[in-house]
Structure 1
Amino acid sequence: MDEFLTQIWGINKLYLDLTKSLQLDSKSSAIVLSCSEKNYDRYISLESFCEIFKSLNLKTDLFDIQTAQVGVINAISHLQISRSEVLAHLKTLSKNEIISDDEFENITKFINSLKLIDDESQTKIEDISVGDIFHHNINVLNEAYFKLKELNLNPNLDKRLDLAYQSALNSQFYLSVTGVINAGKSTMLNALLDLKLLGTSNIPETANLTLLKFSQNQSAKVHFWSEDELKTLGIEENAPAKNIIEIKPEELKTYTTAKNEISKFVKLVELGANAEFLKDNICIVDTPGLDDAVVLREELTKKFMHESDFNIHLMNAAQSATKKDMEFIKNFLKYGKSGGFVVVLTHIDALSQKELNDVIIYTKRSIASELESSGFSSNLINSVEFFMVDSLNRVGIDKLKNYLYEKFFGKNSLKAQIILFGYKKELNFVIKALKDEFEFELSALGGSKFELENELDILKKENLNLKNGLERFKFELKTAFLKLDYSNLEAFSSIKTISTIIKDRVINDVVYANKNKKKLDFERIFMIVQGGFNDLILDVFRELKFLVSKDIEALSETLALEFEAFNKIEVGGFDIKAYLDENLLKVDYTTLQTRLLKLIQNERNLAHLPSQVQELFDEFLKAIDIKSSLVLLANDCTSEFKTLLENGALTYENELKNKIKTLEENANKSEQNSQQMSQKSQTIREKLETISQVSKRISQC
């Protein structure tokens, strides 16, 4: 530490108490550490810099600045300030040219060299408050990330490490908030965020779906409906040129008030706010309300809710358990897939404690009754938490906030566990690869020149065998890809039989009615046609998915047996229903039913009717172009498998090339004196020890 301070302050470095520690956020810590003899005069003229020292009851003279730097360094060493976050903020200062590249490199090198408190003296997980477990573990994993970055990774591992870090850093937690009009959503959200953000004159009217995210400075974006969505809304006008525009928050009223023509094009509004609750990548979806008259906007609301990690439903305590509330809660409990559900009773100041208790009891009973009447277990109500708030006076707000924070980041949070598991998995993969690489280098250094050259010859032969094997593998891969080509789909005779099957069902009904001299039930005919096509189309897609899965499984087993370097590859599941909902055009049966009705009514000769109905159904199937959707499905099902095979071949080839390169380098340097070899061995052992320590820390998460 003393050496670092001397380096940045030169002759102006003062004698200080090097044991001092202080509490400061990571962004301010980065700014404090970046102050030096070179930029001191410029920094003390900045109001933001002076505010940091004012909050610490310190002056901006040389003594207090250097004292603050000592405090920050000690706090980082004792894990009171996150080293990874400080490094990230320093990088931002460098990008914005506030500090030079050399200054950034020097400070970063020093911070990374700091010895953190060892594992034995660290706070145990069970001693950490429940809501802090996730962030504690993320900080530990981030420390591991930066430690591994110091070990001069090869480009592939370095990229993989960065992707894991960015994925964890950018993981979002979504919270949807619903409620009927006058439930008090805006007031409650303002209290939750500690900001007067919603319900003000420059914020969108309640008809708009609003997405709230963290931002250092207040910001706003407007998302517009697409051309197709506008047509669904019944608006026969051109959509705005850009799908998304960024505007000043005070301009929002222009886009959201019904008085302005452009408001009808607005899909949703995205607001950025500097709120503490949003800092941990929490995004709030403020829905327009359950009683939204616009169907497409209601569908958008449902989509956000379905994808959210948690949902809050607000009810006015004095008007709770309305029919709309009950219907929504019942359906959510039956079909909702989010991580949790909370009912918040608002405006509790208008009721006594006894009345509030009665409201909760009545609401629970009403929901249980609704569930039982629909054939579902009334026990589903036990998964709902109830909170009571008076948002204006902040009664119950902190309790709700703490509950949500625990659900997002506590030890039982599935989303938090998934993020940590993925991060740990990637870090451990890199650790294993580095360990293998360094141990190989170490063993190579221990051999004589003759041994190294002999091993090099063996590896060259292995490399030649690998190249021959790779050529054979690529040939087999090419053959495998041909087997996974479903572009013609001639084997799928079931597509051709769809119209025949449904035609036979229709003709049988017509013949039966005619034979028994009964009036033909056209409603039944239409149900046969629409239900039949929907079911048979889904069956065709399932049949193709089953065929593709079997082909992939067979090829995977064959390649794994023939090429030992390639393990049997597992490919994830595929949701056919979800795929059809997203990719298959919505089938409109109106025209088909009209033409079928006309055909049956006008055709007097029943002998001609089957061929005419068959022709009508064949024409309908051709129009919706099932084959193109099947080809897309086959491509989506096989693309991941193909990529995994190609990456497997490339990874194995690169591993061997790296081994050969290492041995060649060591063979050429074998004439160097033993001291140099010993020093290199010692460096590698130190790296292995670092990896071992990092691995141990990761295992404790």
Structure 2
Amino acid sequence: MNENFQRIIADFFTLLHHHETPEYNKEWLHSLQQEGLDSYAILLVCNRRNQDIFCSLEVIHHLCEKFNTTPLPENIRTLQCCILHILATKPSLKVVEELTKRLISLRECGVLEYDEEQKMRSILHQLRPKPKQIELNTPQKNENLFKENIAKIHQLLLQNTRILETYHSKQKAFDILESLQNQHFSIGVTGVMSSGKSTLLNAILQKEVLGTSVIPETANLTILKYGEQESGKIYFWNKAEWDNIRKSATFNDGIAAFVRESEEKFKDQLMLEITEQGKVMDITIDSLQTYTSAKNPHKYCNLVKSVEIFTPLEFLKNGVELVDTPGLDDPLTQREEITKTYLTRCDVIVHLMNAAQSATQKDIDFIVDALTNKNVSRFLVVLTHVDTISHSDLQAVLEYTQTSIQNRLLEFRSTEGFDQIIERIEFIPTAAYMALLHRTNRAQEALEKGYTLEDSGILKLESILRELLFGSESEKSRTLLYGSCRKMIDLFSLIQSEIELKKSLIQEGAESLQKRLKAHHEHEQNAQSLEKKVKQSISESTTTFMQQFEQLGKAAIFKLKEYEQLLKNRLIDEVNYANAQNHSLQANHIEKNLIIGIQDGVTEARRDFCYKLERSLHFFFQEIRELFYAFEELDNRFIDEKMADTQILLLKKFKERPFIDQTSIIPHSAAQLALKKQGSELKKELDQLFILGFDALSERTETWIKILNDEILEECTQTFGNLYSFVHEKIRNEKEILENALEQRTNTETQDKEKDLLLEEEALFDILNTFESILKEVS
């Protein structure tokens, strides 16, 4: 015990007994820890004025018998010293508050005088635990927000294992934590062919996993994941995807050559490799290049859609996945579409540009599209090969890229200011090969060329990636932490309600408990009947909502079809007018107008869908909220919070996920047809082209709507299920508490100690405060 507490205890005996502090009895100290607060309060009110009367009371005789002692003033003071020692070594705000209430009652009964009560309250006030200091630091960037909070939650659960075990909640709490720990984060790496993707990824992975030859090795989408053993998995095109490739060949010479090469190479075997569902094959790492290398004479890479590589590398250990994409200038549009679809699911996109070359039109188009159409809040452009150019040349590359982006934005009527868009781009110069030398035991070579590991730029890039994946700027990390903390708060709030019930039962007798158990049984049966009715009503409301959702999806696709006719007819009219007036047509002008027209169609379809979906969700959740209000176990505010959280989460997911990729074969191919064809021949080929192009847009829209539909059902099912579970657990736990309390009365066992319950309650207060602070940090 520290000197401050010794002084406080000494003050107690000086003020109330005019006596020195007695020695405490270790045996009595242990026995008193099992006593309740009523015994503490009765013993503590003995003082110099009332000790003679006090020691003659029957209740004091009974208490002293428990400790095998006699009711003498010196023995009472020793017991008081032991009680104060317990309060000092296990300080509790709740215990002090309850003791204070008892002192007030004893003063009102005339046992204590006013000034004695005030002195005792002063002593107890000093024995309270010091309030925890709330940090008011200015929020700062934290690249380890996710991992640090997971560690904090883990430590909190370990510290409170006893409470979790007592209230049968340990498994559930650690399941929530495990789910958080097992989340995956993906980094998509893009760039034109030979931009240095494989070299950079190998430098990050600290091992030469991917080919880095001047001739591109990565002909397929490659996803690197953590695995204890190195292995690979190959995904082939399915029949529908291959049919789309063949259709696209009609309007693209590069794709036509690709299809022709594949059919000549595989002949009859082609249809064995291209199946309805899409063939999947497990392979060894040694055989990987057979299926992925563009240089391999077998040409299996033509039939492969994507590849997964599992490898036990440190960078991938925390659920991080790296997506190495085919070059943006890959002539195969189907592969480009697969890549862009996958990139919409990536948490971070890193675009590579070769600083030794001018930014290509593909580079500029990709950057502008990402910043204007894909809800990217921060875009990383990694300039590779900076070790091959001078500092002044590097600055020239940056200026040229920014000017090109500005011109492209102006060309496509971006409504966002250029300065605001440029602020969202971060240019990171890197010498990836120098970094790779440092990380593959060849540091001396890099040092001889004048590059330390820091000079290579790899450390800065990795720091930014950690921040975007796990830091304060990561929307995904914050959302995951928010959801998990909400679940933890619900769990510990349920425990809190159980403690409140236990406290309320301490003074109840067996007969009263039996009546409460009977009433509880009736309530349980009523709750089961109510749940059946609520589930039926929710099922009907959900069916109605999903029908509305289906109609919204059809309306979005219909809007795209309207634009298909509008743009096609507008182009035919433009060609006919130009021919009638003997005006020459400009392919760039036609292509630009079609790109803008497709963007306008997609934007209008999305805006209309978004507005109507938000209204439908509002009314749907309002209906569900009213249904759950019928459960006595659920506080209305608690229900409102759950409904609001789910609605906000769904709308956030919708708004942050890109609607669909707007890439289409139409603009370029239509511009070429307009220059070569006329009349009915032009109309016939444009009909085929626009049907093919807009069917692809419609398919992407249907896929996007299906994903959103599944997410809505999943989130609603989880939210509603959690509310049902909360009701079930509360009813089950209340029944168990009542039964245990009755058994304790019947068997005259030791009842729940109010002091222990108060300590648990205080621990819960701290636990809930910790989770609330995390919520505040990530909101």
Q: 1:410 corresponds to which letter in structure 2?
A: G
Q: Does the CA-based 8 Å contact 1:119-1:697 persist in structure 2?
A: no
1:407 corresponds in structure 2 to 468
Distance 1:189 1:630 in 2: 33
Q: Does the CA-based 8 Å contact 1:184-1:316 persist in structure 2?
A: yes
Distance 1:645 1:266 in 2: 42
1:305 to 343, 357, 368: 343
* Post-superposition offset of 1:409: 2.6
1:677 corresponds in structure 2 to 751
Q: 2:764 corresponds to which letter in structure 1?
A: I
- Local SS of the residue matching 2:187: strand
2:373 corresponds in structure 1 to 335
Q: Does the CA-based 8 Å contact 1:179-1:289 persist in structure 2?
A: yes
Task: Describe the superposition over 1:127-177 as per-residue Cα deviations: whole angstroms up to 9, x where unpaired.
Answer: 999323332221011223445555456999566534422331122222111
Q: 2:186 corresponds to which letter in structure 1?
A: Y
* Post-superposition offset of 1:541: 8.5
Task: State the structure with bigger RCO (CA 8 A, min sep 6), 1 or 2.
Answer: 2
Q: Does the CA-based 8 Å contact 2:344-2:657 persist in structure 1?
A: no
Q: 2:520 corresponds to which letter in structure 1?
A: L
- RMSD, aligned CA: 5.4
1:172 corresponds in structure 2 to 184
1:251 to 276, 280, 287: 287
Distance 2:232 2:625 in 1: 53
* Post-superposition offset of 1:289: 0.7
Q: 1:397 corresponds to which letter in structure 2?
A: I
Evaluate the alpha carbon distance shift between residue 191 and residue 466 of structure 1 in structure 2; reply closer, same or farther with a 3 A threshold.
closer
- Local SS of the residue matching 2:497: helix
Q: Does the CA-based 8 Å contact 2:374-2:658 persist in structure 1?
A: no
Residue 259 (structure 2) pairs with residue 186 (structure 1): no
Q: Does the CA-based 8 Å contact 2:150-2:177 persist in structure 1?
A: no
Distance 2:764 2:405 in 1: 55
* Post-superposition offset of 1:315: 1.6
Q: Does the CA-based 8 Å contact 1:144-1:694 persist in structure 2?
A: yes
Residue 228 (structure 2) pairs with residue 211 (structure 1): no
Evaluate the alpha carbon distance shift between residue 123 and residue 207 of structure 1 in structure 2; reply closer, same or farther with a 3 A threshold.
farther
Q: Does the CA-based 8 Å contact 2:350-2:379 persist in structure 1?
A: yes
1:24 corresponds in structure 2 to none
* Post-superposition offset of 1:655: 2.0
Q: Does the CA-based 8 Å contact 2:375-2:658 persist in structure 1?
A: no
Q: 1:290 corresponds to which letter in structure 2?
A: L
Q: Does the CA-based 8 Å contact 2:141-2:473 persist in structure 1?
A: no
Evaluate the alpha carbon distance shift between residue 560 and residue 275 of structure 1 in structure 2; reply closer, same or farther with a 3 A threshold.
closer
Q: 2:379 corresponds to which letter in structure 1?
A: F
2:733 to 655, 658, 662: 658
Evaluate the alpha carbon distance shift between residue 267 and residue 365 of structure 1 in structure 2; reply closer, same or farther with a 3 A threshold.
same
1:288 corresponds in structure 2 to 326
Evaluate the alpha carbon distance shift between residue 633 and residue 335 of structure 1 in structure 2; reply closer, same or farther with a 3 A threshold.
closer
1:232 corresponds in structure 2 to 244
Q: Does the CA-based 8 Å contact 2:219-2:301 persist in structure 1?
A: no
Distance 1:633 1:186 in 2: 33
Distance 1:148 1:486 in 2: 47
- Local SS of the residue matching 1:197: coil
TM-score (norm 2): 0.56
Can you give the 5+ residue segments of structure 2 that lack an aligned partner in the other structure?
Answer: 1-129, 247-258, 260-269, 436-455, 570-597, 662-679, 685-698, 775-779
Distance 1:242 1:156 in 2: 46
Distance 2:395 2:608 in 1: 55
Q: Does the CA-based 8 Å contact 1:346-1:388 persist in structure 2?
A: yes
Evaluate the alpha carbon distance shift between residue 384 and residue 700 of structure 1 in structure 2; reply closer, same or farther with a 3 A threshold.
same
How do residues 413-452 of structure 1 correspond to structure 2 at under 5 angstroms? 413-452=474-513
2:743 to 643, 668, 675: 668
Distance 2:499 2:425 in 1: 53
Distance 1:245 1:187 in 2: 27
2:53 corresponds in structure 1 to none
Q: Does the CA-based 8 Å contact 1:544-1:634 persist in structure 2?
A: no
Q: Does the CA-based 8 Å contact 1:308-1:338 persist in structure 2?
A: no
Q: Does the CA-based 8 Å contact 1:346-1:391 persist in structure 2?
A: yes
1:691 to 738, 750, 764: 764
1:374 corresponds in structure 2 to 412
Task: Describe the superposition over 1:364-411 as per-residue Cα deviations: whole angstroms up to 9, x where unpaired.
Answer: 222222222322232212211112122222222222222222332332
2:154 to 139, 142, 145: 142
- Local SS of the residue matching 1:669: helix
Distance 1:268 1:195 in 2: 21
Distance 1:351 1:485 in 2: 58
Distance 2:157 2:515 in 1: 37
* Greater alpha carbon shift after TM alignment, 144-153 vs 264-273: 144-153
Distance 2:346 2:469 in 1: 11
- Local SS of the residue matching 2:492: helix
Evaluate the alpha carbon distance shift between residue 466 and residue 634 of structure 1 in structure 2; reply closer, same or farther with a 3 A threshold.
same
Residue 399 (structure 2) pairs with residue 361 (structure 1): yes
* Greater alpha carbon shift after TM alignment, 398-407 vs 425-434: 398-407
Task: Describe the superposition over 1:98-152 as per-residue Cα deviations: whole angstroms up to 9, x where unpaired.
Answer: xxxxxxxxxxxxxxxxxxxx99799999899932333222101122344555545
- Local SS of the residue matching 2:387: helix
Can you give the 5+ residue segments of structure 1 that lack an aligned partner in the other structure?
Answer: 1-117, 510-529, 583-596, 602-623
- Local SS of the residue matching 1:367: helix
Q: Does the CA-based 8 Å contact 1:144-1:698 persist in structure 2?
A: no
Residue 316 (structure 2) pairs with residue 316 (structure 1): no
Q: Does the CA-based 8 Å contact 1:178-1:289 persist in structure 2?
A: yes
Task: Describe the superposition over 1:562-591 as per-residue Cα deviations: whole angstroms up to 9, x where unpaired.
Answer: 666574655635769999979xxxxxxxxx
How do residues 512-523 of structure 1 correspond to structure 2 at under 5 angstroms? none
Structure label with greater radius of gyration? 2
Task: Describe the superposition over 1:459-507 as per-residue Cα deviations: whole angstroms up to 9, x where unpaired.
Answer: 34544554564565567567767877969x9x99x99xx9xx99xx99x
* Post-superposition offset of 1:448: 2.6
Aligned residues: 526
Q: 1:396 corresponds to which letter in structure 2?
A: G
Task: Describe the superposition over 1:626-679 as per-residue Cα deviations: whole angstroms up to 9, x where unpaired.
Answer: x9x9999999977865775566456424422331232123212203446x225x
Q: 1:401 corresponds to which letter in structure 2?
A: E
How do residues 594-673 of structure 1 correspond to structure 2 at under 5 angstroms? 648-649=723-724, 651-673=726-748
Evaluate the alpha carbon distance shift between residue 402 and residue 123 of structure 1 in structure 2; reply closer, same or farther with a 3 A threshold.
farther
Evaluate the alpha carbon distance shift between residue 322 and residue 696 of structure 1 in structure 2; reply closer, same or farther with a 3 A threshold.
same
Evaluate the alpha carbon distance shift between residue 354 and residue 280 of structure 1 in structure 2; reply closer, same or farther with a 3 A threshold.
same
Q: Does the CA-based 8 Å contact 1:178-1:314 persist in structure 2?
A: yes
Quote the sequence identity (%): 25
- Local SS of the residue matching 2:302: helix
2:624 corresponds in structure 1 to 556
- Local SS of the residue matching 2:235: strand
